[in-house]
């Protein structure tokens, strides 16, 4: 294995060191240090991470490695939309119409909370460890949903599955970036997006067919064997070295940042899903959780920008116009897609029940 510092100093003179397709993103400090040829501050040297570059694999090995990961990406995408056709029979089983909004939201909020955290954690503990843990969480969550005896176990299962699904989505992208040079990355990312889109597209059809044939529980349980196989293959075939540092691994984890991010999203979920559904919008719980979510989010931004030495999310990156525009476009697009899924399902339930009452 080779490090970015060793490679850069061996190939070029310090004054001519430039960024290339193998240079880590957000590496301005590293490039400045390389141009100076030395790090003069011992404390800075102690905290500096060394990016160990994995050897570029052959095409055959590359698709073997990525194929084991893309199984989880496909199932994670499928699981995000399968609930569109399963929410009605699930709500009927537990006799709870309020369960409808939680089935999708619990998965997606847990998914969103774990994606940025998984990036930083796998930088420290390795991509393989993150993928194995994500597969285990995703499989365990689907098993909980398939065997659920109450609506609360069902919601808990969706949360656990969402945690695993978020990790699978994010780490798959990181892994392809680690293994594939920039000149080839567009093709690889395109294949991954096709698999994700196919999984999301067939999720509703898969859920409806399974429910009509064997019942909604099988839609969740049937995913477990495939995700177990994916976890085993990932363990044996994915071998990407994590970033190296003189500090211990746990000391490099931004626990305050991760905690405030998760708490902020949980408070937001609790307020938005309870308001107008379980309790009125004027209820004290709603008037407390939503403002508190904004306060905790502000605390997260402050921690990441001013306090954390190795932040979960480098918030300064969001000040970049291109990055901010891409994030906002992705946010509104995803919001529109999943709003349509939820609204169409609610309309179906409304007309179905209206026809039952008219008979």
One pLDDT digit (tens) per residue for the chain, 359 residues: 444 444 444 444 443 445 555 555 555 544 444 444 444 455 555 556 666 666 777 888 888 889 999 998 999 888 888 887 888 888 888 887 767 777 877 887 888 778 878 888 888 888 899 999 999 999 999 999 999 998 889 999 999 999 999 899 889 988 888 888 877 888 888 888 888 888 887 888 888 889 889 999 999 999 999 999 999 999 998 888 887 777 777 777 888 888 898 888 888 878 887 777 677 888 888 899 999 999 999 999 999 888 888 788 888 888 888 888 988 998 888 777 767 666 665 566 566 666 666 66
SS3 52: strand
CATH topology of domain 58-253: Growth Hormone; Chain: A; (1.20.1250)
Task: Give residue 141's pLDDT.
Answer: 95
Quick one: 192 exposed, middle or buried, by C-beta within 10 A (0-12, 13-18, 19+)?
A: buried
- What is the CB neighbour count within 10 angstroms for residue 239? 12
Q: Cβ distance 127 to 179 under 8 Å?
A: no
- What is the CB neighbour count within 10 angstroms for residue 77? 23
Q: At what angle do helices 255-274 and 284-302 cross, to 10 degrees?
A: 150
* CA 259/CA 252 separation, integer angstroms: 15
* CA 346/CA 222 separation, integer angstroms: 26
* CA 10/CA 329 separation, integer angstroms: 41
Task: Give residue 145's pLDDT.
Answer: 93
Query: pTM of the full predicted structure?
Result: 0.77
Quick one: 166 exposed, middle or buried, by C-beta within 10 A (0-12, 13-18, 19+)?
A: buried
Task: Give residue 45's pLDDT.
Answer: 53
Task: Give residue 164's pLDDT.
Answer: 93
* Nearest partner of 216 among 103, 76, 97, 93, judged by Cα: 93
Task: Give residue 148's pLDDT.
Answer: 92
Task: Give residue 32's pLDDT.
Answer: 47
Task: Give residue 125's pLDDT.
Answer: 87
* Nearest partner of 77 among 165, 167, 180, 190, judged by Cα: 165
- What is the CB neighbour count within 10 angstroms for residue 182? 11
Task: Give residue 88's pLDDT.
Answer: 81
* CA 176/CA 81 separation, integer angstroms: 24
List residues bridging with 53 in a β-sheet. 2
Q: Cβ distance 8 to 20 under 8 Å?
A: no
* CA 195/CA 74 separation, integer angstroms: 6
Task: Give residue 116's pLDDT.
Answer: 77
Distances (CA, A) of 288 to 105, 268, 273: 20, 10, 14
H-run or E-run covering 21:
none
* Nearest partner of 138 among 101, 114, 166, 171, judged by Cα: 166
Q: What is the pLDDT of residues 182-231, one digit of tens each?
A: 778 888 888 888 888 888 878 888 888 898 899 999 999 999 999 999 99
Q: Residue 271: how many CA atoms within 13 Å on its side-chain side?
A: 18
User: How many distinct helices (H) and strands (E) make up the chain?
Assistant: 14, 2
Q: Cβ distance 34 to 12 under 8 Å?
A: no
Q: Cβ distance 338 to 104 under 8 Å?
A: yes
SS3 244: strand
Pinpoint the residues of the chain covered by CATH 1.20.1250.20: 58-253
* CA 169/CA 70 separation, integer angstroms: 9
């Amino acid at each position: 294995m080779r490090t970015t510092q060793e490679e850069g100093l061996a190939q070029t003179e310090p004054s001519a060191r430039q960024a290339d397709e193998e240079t880590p993103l957000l590496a301005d400090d590293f490039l400045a240090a390389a141009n100076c040829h030395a790090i003069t501050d011992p404390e800075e040297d102690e905290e500096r991470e060394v990016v160990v570059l994995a050897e570029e694999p052959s095409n055959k090995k590359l698709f073997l490695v990525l194929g084991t990961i893309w199984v989880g990406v496909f199932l994670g995408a499928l699981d995000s939309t399968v609930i569109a056709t399963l929410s009605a029979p699930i709500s009927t089983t537990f006799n709870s119409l309020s369960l409808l909004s939680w089935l999708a939201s619990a998965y997606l909020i847990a998914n969103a909370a774990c994606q940025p955290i998984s990036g930083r954690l796998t930088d420290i503990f390795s991509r393989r460890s993150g993928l194995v843990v994500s597969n285990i969480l995703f499989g365990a969550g689907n098993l909980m949903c398939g065997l659920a005896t109450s609506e609360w176990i069902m919601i808990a299962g969706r949360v656990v599955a969402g945690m695993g699904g978020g990790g699978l989505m994010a780490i798959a992208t990181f892994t392809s970036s680690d293994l594939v040079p920039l000149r080839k990355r567009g093709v690889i990312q395109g294949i991954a997006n096709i698999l994700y889109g196919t999984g999301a597209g067939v999720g509703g059809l898969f859920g409806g067919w399974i429910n009509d044939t064997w019942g909604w529980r099988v839609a969740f349980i049937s995913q477990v064997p495939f995700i177990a196989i994916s976890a085993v293959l990932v363990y044996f075939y994915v071998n990407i070295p994590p970033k190296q540092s003189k500090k211990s691994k746990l000391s490099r984890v931004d626990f305050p940042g991760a905690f405030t991010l998760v708490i902020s999203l949980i408070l937001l979920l609790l307020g938005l899903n309870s308001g107008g559904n379980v309790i009125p919008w004027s209820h004290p719980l709603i008037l407390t959780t939503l403002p508190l979510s904004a306060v905790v989010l502000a605390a997260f931004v402050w921690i990441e920008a001013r306090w954390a030495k190795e932040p979960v999310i480098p918030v300064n990156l969001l000040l970049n116009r291109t990055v901010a525009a891409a994030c906002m476009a992705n946010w509104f697009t995803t919001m529109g897609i999943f709003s349509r899924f939820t609204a169409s399902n609610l309309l179906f339930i409304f007309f179905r029940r209206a026809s039952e009452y008219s008979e």
